[in-house]
């Protein structure tokens, strides 16, 4: 698999603060790559460097094997940021025509019709963008990013502020962009459910350092992160919960009204958890394993960083 985006030991200091502390990761051609991290972690700075808006202090960066500072490289990149950069007093088609002219797109009318169809806005091409909903604006922003037919898309929070229906629509568009249009997508997002649904590879950045990176399914397996879910007959008392927290090897993570969730270490078996709960007077209805969610994996990694 070829590499679409290559970042090697990139550092960036703004003011007196080192924002990026030698980050390294690759985005493979055809990926929908999730770039995750809390506010202030360094995601936006990374994106600005990728787009040539900031220059790294040191390290190596290329896109499609070429220097990002070259015009020939930049034209192969599409992007959608926040704010979206759309013009409210122009129609959707006029917005796209404006950007098509900047990129000297041949047969711009044909290309505009295609990308408007791709994002489901063909019937709203003549409407003023100022009257668009947030979800429609996000879809038009994706169309604008695609109008010059780039090979790589860099998207910053493409579903921010969009209702659940709109989020589903954007996710479908992103999957079509990657799998039908054969584009590579780097997606920065706080929406972990969204990333889990559509991204095949991820990088988690925190405080300027990459804490987790690779195939999402492989990361779960390598880290041994599978959860033990225990369904109980009634809510477990605070006394028992406190005892569970002291048994750190059991990896007690969460308690609901009728559910306990554990991420045990390798030395603890499910039978050990069941025996402990039974001895504590907890009535168990069912026990099973499930793969840990990206949200749980994310929270666990950040918790380990803080300790």
CATH of the domain at 286: 3.30.70
What is the distance between the alpha carbons of residues 69 and 55, in angstroms, rounded to a whole number?
A: 9
Q: Within this chain, do residues 185 and 43 fall inside the same structural domain, yes or no?
A: yes
Determine the structural domain holding residue 216 and report its residue range: 3-220
Which pLDDT score, from 0 to 100, does residue 290 have?
73
Which pLDDT score, from 0 to 100, does residue 168 have?
87
Q: Within this chain, do residues 215 and 234 fall inside the same structural domain, yes or no?
A: no
The total number of structural domains in the chain stands at: 2
- End-of-domain residue from the set 187, 220, 253: 220
Question: If the chain, 307 residues long, is cut into consecutive pieces of 10 residues, what is the mean pLDDT of each piece?
Answer: 93 95 96 90 93 94 91 92 92 97 94 95 97 94 96 91 85 90 91 83 92 80 69 92 91 87 83 93 90 67 59
Q: Within this chain, do residues 75 and 167 fall inside the same structural domain, yes or no?
A: yes
Find all residues with CB under 8 Å of 107, minimum gap 6, and list them: none
pTM confidence score = 0.75
Q: Within this chain, do residues 204 and 232 fall inside the same structural domain, yes or no?
A: no
Tell me, what CATH number does 33's domain have?
3.40.50.300
Q: How far lies 247's CA from each of 170, 240, 243, 262, in Å? A: 43, 11, 7, 11
Tell me the CB-side half-sphere exposure of residue 130, using CA atoms within 13 A: 4
The Cα angle at residue 11 between residues 23 and 50, in degrees rounded to 5: 75
In a domain, 296, yes or no: no
DSSP state of 128: B
Q: Within this chain, do residues 149 and 201 fall inside the same structural domain, yes or no?
A: yes
What is the distance between the alpha carbons of residues 7 and 128, in angstroms, rounded to a whole number?
A: 39
Q: Within this chain, do residues 60 and 191 fall inside the same structural domain, yes or no?
A: yes
Which residues pair with residue 132 across a beta bridge? Answer: none
Q: Within this chain, do residues 257 and 216 fall inside the same structural domain, yes or no?
A: no
Q: Within this chain, do residues 32 and 57 fall inside the same structural domain, yes or no?
A: yes
In a domain, 100, yes or no: yes
Q: Within this chain, do residues 65 and 98 fall inside the same structural domain, yes or no?
A: yes
Q: Within this chain, do residues 236 and 274 fall inside the same structural domain, yes or no?
A: yes
Count of helices and strands (H, E) across the chain: 11, 14
163, 165, 166, 169: CA torsion to nearest 10: 160
């Amino acid at each position: 698999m070829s590499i679409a985006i290559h970042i090697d030991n990139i550092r960036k200091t703004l003011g007196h603060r080192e924002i990026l502390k030698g980050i390294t990761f690759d985005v493979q051609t055809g990926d929908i790559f999730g770039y995750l991290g809390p506010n202030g972690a360094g995601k936006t700075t990374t994106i600005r460097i990728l787009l040539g808006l900031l220059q790294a202090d040191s390290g190596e960066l290329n896109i499609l094997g070429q220097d990002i500072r070259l015009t020939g490289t930049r034209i192969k990149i599409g992007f959608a940021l926040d704010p979206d950069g759309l013009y409210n007093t122009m129609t959707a088609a006029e917005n796209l025509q404006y950007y098509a002219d900047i990129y000297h797109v041949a047969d711009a009318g044909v290309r505009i019709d295609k990308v408007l169809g791709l994002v489901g806005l063909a019937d709203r091409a003549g409407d003023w963008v100022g009257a668009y909903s947030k979800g429609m604006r996000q879809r038009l922003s994706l169309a604008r990013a695609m109008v010059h037919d780039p090979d790589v898309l860099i998207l910053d929070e493409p579903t921010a502020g969009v209702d659940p229906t709109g989020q589903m629509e954007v996710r479908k568009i992103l999957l079509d962009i990657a799998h039908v249009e054969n584009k590579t997508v780097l997606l920065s997002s706080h929406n972990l459910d969204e990333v889990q649904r559509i991204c095949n590879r991820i990088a988690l950045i925190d405080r300027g350092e990459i804490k987790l990176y690779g195939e999402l399914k492989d990361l779960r397996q390598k880290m041994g992160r599978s959860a033990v879910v225990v369904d109980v007959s009634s809510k477990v008392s605070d006394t028992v919960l406190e005892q569970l927290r002291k048994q750190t090897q059991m990896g007690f993570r969460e308690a609901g009204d009728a559910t306990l969730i554990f991420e045990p270490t390798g030395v603890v078996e499910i039978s050990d958890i069941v025996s402990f709960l039974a001895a504590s007077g907890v009535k168990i209805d069912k026990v099973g394993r499930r793969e840990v969610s990206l949200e749980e994996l994310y929270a666990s990694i950040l918790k380990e960083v803080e300790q």
